[in-house]
Amino acid sequence: MKLASKIESILFAAAKPFSVRKLADITKESSENVEEALLDLKTKLEEQESGLMLQQHGKENELVTHPDVSDLVTQVVRSETQGELTRPSLEALTILAYRGPLTRPELEQIRGVQSSLILRNLMMRGLIEEKGVGPLGQPNYVVTFDFLNALGLKSLDDLPQYKELSSNSVVDDVLADLERDELKGQGAERPKG
């Protein structure tokens, strides 16, 4: 697969800007190769009259919707942020409320399914936010004050069975397994102490 296609996939899945350096680290390519691939990607999207475009600001690069389709995208986004939450969204939100902060891979390990779109939708609704960095530099996700306000809660401690469910040993084991697998994949050992 061409480097430009790999970068397109990364930017699409992440739905946030990445620096040339970060893309080079992820793809294990040189910054020069990444810059060339970004130029190829930008040209390809323009030539295909794609609904997506590569937006660049300094060394940051993000895949965004083309301004010509902004009205359609606004309609879809509005319906997603104003309609009822789906069952998978409620599940992810519940897990984050009881077990957060969690990274996307940690949430996916608990749920057993890919969750990036759900996280994006919950962030668009203002119910969760990125806060801090978790294992291996991944952003942590937590529920927001808007979430607490929507439920009429003073704090997460007011959730039903919060103490019991926020420290479930089965979930602890699942997260520990994920962390071990991630560290093995990075060739690193967990620091002691």
Per-residue pLDDT reduced to its tens digit, 33-70: 999 999 999 999 999 999 999 999 888 999 988 889 88
**How many DSSP H helices and E strands does the chain contain?**
10, 6
Whether 84-186 and 3-66 are alike in CATH topology: the answer is yes
Per-residue pLDDT reduced to its tens digit, 141-191: 999 998 998 888 888 888 888 888 777 676 667 667 766 766 666 554 444
Q: How many residues does the chain have?
A: 193
In this prediction, residue 192 has a pLDDT band, given cuts at 50, 70 and 90, of: very low
Q: Quote the CA–CA distance of 64 and 55 in Å, as a whole number.
A: 7
Give me the mean pLDDT over the 19-24 stretch.
Answer: 94
Residue boundaries of the structural domains of the chain? 3-66, 84-186
Q: What percent of the chain has pLDDT over 70?
A: 84
Give me the mean pLDDT over the 78-93 stretch.
Answer: 81
Neighbours of 27 (CB within 10 A): 15
Class of domain 84-186: mainly alpha
SS3 assignment, position 2: coil
Class of domain 3-66: mainly alpha
Q: Quote the CA–CA distance of 121 and 68 in Å, as a whole number.
A: 22
Q: Write down the pLDDT at residue 47.
A: 95
**pTM listed for this prediction:** 0.56
Residue 24, CA distances (Å) to 53, 105, 116 in order: 20, 21, 22
